[in-house]
Amino acid sequence: TLEYHDCASVNARCQRICDQWDRLGALTQRRRQGLDEAERILEKIDLLHLEFAKRAAPFNNWLDGAREDLVDMFIVHTMEEIQGLIQAHDQFKATLGEADKEFNVIIGLVRDAEAIVKQEQVPGGLVNPYTTLSADLISRKWSEVRALVPQRDQTLANELRKQQNNEMLRRQFAEKANAVGPWIERQMDAVTAIGMGISGSLEEQLHRLKEYEQAVYAYKPSIEELEKIHQAVQESMIFENRYTHYTMETLRVGWEQLLTSINRNINEVENQILTRDSKGITQEQLTEFRSSFNHFDKNRTGRLAPEEFKSCLVSLGYSIGKDKQGDMDFQRILAVVDPNASGYVQFDAFLDFMTRESTDTDTAEQVIDSFRILASDRPYILPDELRRELPPDQAEYCIQRMPPYKGPNAIPGALDYMSFSTALYGESDL
């Protein structure tokens, strides 16, 4: 030993230094462990924040889109459209289970982070550096979406009932309209046929027209019933009906046209009866006048255009030249049958003109003379001659109505123009 007199003091001091070093080492170790633990905790919180940001962003977008869809206004007009919306809504509701799971996971991340921050007393640990979204915002939006779902259910259910009612109205209107429309068309065709004087005497035509008039008025309750259905259709804002091509407007027009046509034809037939009786023409003459008129009334309008009227006159034997004088003669005739210059000749005016002409004893002879010139003084005429000398429709008219010539020296196809002329204008002196 050194036998230093203060050896004990030095040793004690050295021991204290060693002890302090040991304590420093222990503190350093604990500090290191504390820092490691703090790093682990902060890393765990950071991972929770990051995972929240990753999940919350798309979920928030989905919530915004879902909310927009749930409050979106819609306008539908058919069952198919509302059923399509209901089907899409049902498909959306089928995803709510998975959405609820995702919501719980997202909120769970926030709750875990909050628990760690509270337990470890981490200052600022609740601030998420990766997103501005919060659990409260996500929760509020999710609650709003869930509340909107039953509201949407009710809205769609109400619209479905409305469209079911609209569909019922469409079918009711179509069923009635598809019966009324063809009925009106059939009556119109029948009345038109009677008005054309195709068959029967004038008295028979008048009787049938009045029967149709009674039938039309008796059918009026069907129109009134259809009007009631149409009123309900309008109140329901129904703008199309795939079950019928008829509309109330077209049926109203058809109904009014039918009544007008019946009344007009009754009036015309009564006037024709008066004309016939006052002028003393026969039923055969009247029938021939009607047949001639109908032949040139190609469109079955009940009236003749000037050129059609001219062709009709020529077919009846009138000689209308193709020169200026002929045009002047025709214009004078046209002024008589169409005094109002309407551009058309009605049958009543045509009949009045023809009956006045038929009372002229020279008319039949004039017609026969006209045909005799075309026939080169023969008592008969050939179809080819008529086709060569007359316009096509006039020629065919005469060919169809002239009886075969049965006199002496007849050749095949010869036509009797004398019988044809006298049938129109009475007996000739020839």
CATH topology for 169-274 is Methane Monooxygenase Hydroxylase; Chain G, domain 1 (1.20.58)
pLDDT in the model for residue 67: 95
pLDDT in the model for residue 234: 93
What pLDDT, in 10s, does the model give residues 77-88?
A: 889 999 999 999
pLDDT in the model for residue 147: 96
Average pLDDT over residues 107-121: 93
pLDDT in the model for residue 220: 94
269 versus 170: which is more confidently predicted? Answer: 170
Helical segments of 316-381, H only: 324-337, 347-358, 362-374
From CA 66, how far away is CA 11, in angstroms rounded? 81
From CA 354, how far away is CA 371, in angstroms rounded? 19
The pLDDT-based confidence of 174 (bands split at 50, 70, 90) is very high
Mean pLDDT of the chain: 87
From CA 264, how far away is CA 289, in angstroms rounded? 19
The pLDDT-based confidence of 209 (bands split at 50, 70, 90) is very high
Q: Which long-range contacts (CB under 8 A, 24 or more apart) does 382-391 make?
A: 382/411, 382/413, 382/414, 382/415, 383/413, 383/415, 386/415, 390/314, 390/315, 391/311, 391/314
pLDDT in the model for residue 5: 72
CATH 1.20.58.60 spans which residues of the chain? 41-133, 169-274
Rounded to an integer, what is the distance from CA 202 to the centroid of its chain? 43
pLDDT in the model for residue 361: 45
**Maximum C-alpha span of the chain:** 192
Average pLDDT over residues 181-209: 87
362: pLDDT strictly greater than 50: no
CATH class of the 280-360 domain in this structure:
mainly alpha
282: pLDDT strictly greater than 60: yes
Going by their DSSP bridges, the two strands 345-346 and 303-304 should be labelled as antiparallel
What pLDDT, in 10s, does the model give residues 88-105?
A: 999 999 999 999 999 999
CATH 1.10.238.10 spans which residues of the chain? 280-360, 364-425
430: pLDDT strictly greater than 70: no
Q: How many other CB atoms are there within 10 angstroms of residue 164's CB atom?
A: 12
From CA 260, how far away is CA 265, in angstroms rounded? 8
Highest mean pLDDT among 174-178, 325-329, 342-346: 174-178
pLDDT in the model for residue 424: 65
The pLDDT-based confidence of 358 (bands split at 50, 70, 90) is low
CATH topology for 364-425 is Recoverin; domain 1 (1.10.238)
CATH class of the 41-133 domain in this structure:
mainly alpha
Average pLDDT over residues 139-157: 96
102 versus 306: which is more confidently predicted? Answer: 102
Q: Could you give the percent of the chain with pLDDT greater than 70?
A: 94
**Which of 85-99, 117-131, 361-375 is the least confident region?**
361-375
The pLDDT-based confidence of 177 (bands split at 50, 70, 90) is very high
**Which of 141-145, 286-290, 374-378 is the least confident region?**
286-290
